[in-house]
Amino acid sequence: MPRDPVCGMIVDSDSAIKRRIGDRTYYFCSEACARVYEQPELELKAMKRRVALALTGVISVAVLRVLAMFGLMAAMMAFRIASLSVWDLALFIISTPIVWVAGWSILYGAYRAIRDRCINMDVLIASSVLAGWGYGAISTFLPWLGSEGFGYMETAIGILAFILLGKFIEENVRRKSAASVRRLLELQPTFARVLRDGQEVEVPVNEVQVSDVIVVKPGERIPVDGVVIVGSSLVDEKIITGESIPVEKGVGSEVIGGTINKIGLLKIRATRVGDETALAQIIRLVEEAQASNAPIQRFADKVVGYFVPIVFTVAAIAFSYWLFTADFTHAFLVLLAVLLIACPCALGIATPTAILAGVGKGAEYGIFLRGGEYVEKARNLTTVIFDKTGTLTRGEPKVTDIMPIGDYSKEEVLRLAAIAEKGSEHPLAEAVIKAADSMGLEIPNAESFEAILGEGIKVLYKGHKIILGNLRLMENNGIGTISIEDKLVELEEQGKTVMILAVDEKIVGLIAVMDTPKEEAAEVVKQLKDIGLEVIMLTGDNERAAKAVARQLGIDSVIANVLPWEKVNIIKKLQSEGKVVAMVGDGVNDAPALAQADIGIAIGSGADIAKEAGGIILVKDDLRDVVKAIKLSKITMRKIKQNLFWAFIYNALSIPVAAAGLLTPLIAAGAMALSSLFVTINSATIKLQKL
């Protein structure tokens, strides 16, 4: 069943209030929640007006009471119109608009709940307020049926003032926690400057088509996802990735809609528009996560469902007891106090407010939690599995060692290897060329080029025969390798791929290439082990290369030579052993494994964020965010448990006190409002945590 994106309440899709916003349908439990979502600032102003009206009424009554205490209202209190007390009439006139105008949202919420046969917190509050105001009104107009009415009406408006003020403060805190979505929404440009027939035309951003060429000037937001086709600049991607340093962009670079072009004019070709843009997907992801709850919330929802009828029963028993042992007035006040103090508002918002704050905090770092389910699973996490290539390592080979033999220098060995590789498209060739470029070496063209599949390359340069490849290539060309065998073994044991360079059938150097670990990988592995998690490397690479990387990173457990579909079975085996597993991968190649894991963490997901299989999405290609995501999940779950604990304790201790007649309705209302506010503020402290 759908969940109200504002209050987190589960709603019946048939009876819920539906709103079509963009291309999606949202379901709300009330018109008030729908207005909050559609026009949050207008609804907040309306709440402020309702609070002001209620407080004005309370102050007015307090002033009348003070004047009466000093005898300044004696004439008014004694004066009667057609046997009706003018004093009681004044209180009725003050309290009625407060109950029916300021308290309308609560009364309407109670009506809808009763109509849908779903008793909720609004029913308890409305029962208390209407009972107090109703009995006061009856005793005002039919004084022979009861005592003076002003005390009950005063109680009713006091209750409303407390509750409305608490809700207003609570909503302010909630909005600060939900600010991540609103900030993202504000990032969406409304217009784009598109080239049409050679002219710049400003069009609404929803009219931009894939392949349109868009002009973005310095200081402007990029309207849609695209690829730079003209120009270069620095682009501020902080709001999407959390990265504080602007990123260099040039021809061929991908750009994300909503980010800011800092210095240069760019022309980009649109690749994703509308709901396909990274920003739109992120907004949808955050909205869905903030409207979701952890499975523990189902327990709280079930408790509330049984709790409310029990409260009515306890209230009725307490009323009956005090009616026979004291008087009606005392019994009635006890009834109101029990109904108010037992209102499980804090219990209902314990999980949604924490999830809201946790998702908002993660969004600041480019960490997107898909929902409460993954937050709860993080509490019992035991094992973190990393894919190797592209996750722990950079995903591209890099020259790590250049070992000259004889009279050649490192630069000469690298230059000759680059000349040989210049015509090749092999990844190892790309690594050699990049290394030569970084050293500023000139790489002329060879006179002839021959690639031998699975072995290497043979070229002719200035009359010299250059051979670059593996041992088999050397042996097939009659080149002895005994002198370099020890060095070969040493490098290969480190997990490196070694290329042998020979000139005119004489070995002159070795070049070792390796897919190197990311700079932060070892630190991340250590941090995970420090918090008691088992770390495993799972890779399709050969065991020697995998173990070499694992040694560098401090990983003790390696599972190598694993095909993509076999990773799922390995995760299932670990889960059958009682382990709670998180899988960290690239989100595309590792999709089955990410889906099978208890928590799939897709790293460096870029523009396809919402299409990934991960339960946690990390926009930046930064392994440190894995630790931050796990910490954030644990912090959020800790807050949920704290909230539920205090909400249960509050109700368990307060109901007997109220039933014993030791609390007035006003104190009960204040205590109930404070308990909800405590839970909300406790959740909001997540925003202050350092990850």
Report phi then psi at 457, rounded to 5: -140, 145
Distances (CA, A) of 271 to 211, 233, 636: 6, 19, 36
Collapsing DSSP to helix, strand or coil, 27 comes out as strand
Note whether 255 and 221 are within 8 A (CB).
Answer: no
Q: Tell me: the pLDDT tens digits for 408-418?
A: 899 999 999 99
Q: Which fold has domain 395-516?
A: Calcium-transporting ATPase, cytoplasmic domain N (3.40.1110)
Catalytic residue among 88, 387, 586, 590: 387
SS (H, E, C) 29-41: CCHHHHHHHHCHH
β-pairing, 233-236 vs 247-249, is: antiparallel
Secondary structure E strands in 217-308: 225-230, 233-236, 247-249, 254-255, 260-261, 266-272
pTM value surpassing 0.75: no
| Opening angle at CA 148, ends 144 and 152, nearest 5 | 125
Compute the distance between CA of residue 228 and CA of residue 226 in angstroms, rounded to an integer.
7
Q: Specify the pLDDT at position 148.
A: 46
Domain ranges, ordered by start, for the chain: 39-188, 189-285, 357-393+518-635, 395-516
Q: Specify the pLDDT at position 611.
A: 45
Q: Which fold has domain 189-285?
A: 2.70.150
Tokens for 572, please give them: 């299932």
Annotation says 541 is catalytic: no
Those residues with Cβ within 8 angstroms of residue 288's Cβ, 6 or more apart along the chain or in another chain: 370, 371
CATH architecture of the domain 357-393+518-635 equals 3-Layer(aba) Sandwich (3.40)
The stretches in the chain having pLDDT less than 50 are 145-150, 177, 606-607, 609-611
Note whether 342 and 311 are within 8 A (CB).
Answer: yes
Q: At what angle do helices 86-97 and 150-177 cross, to 10 degrees?
A: 20
Q: Specify the pLDDT at position 585.
A: 83
Compute the distance between CA of residue 582 and CA of residue 597 in angstroms, rounded to an integer.
6
Q: Tell me: the pLDDT tens digits for 365-379?
A: 888 777 677 787 877
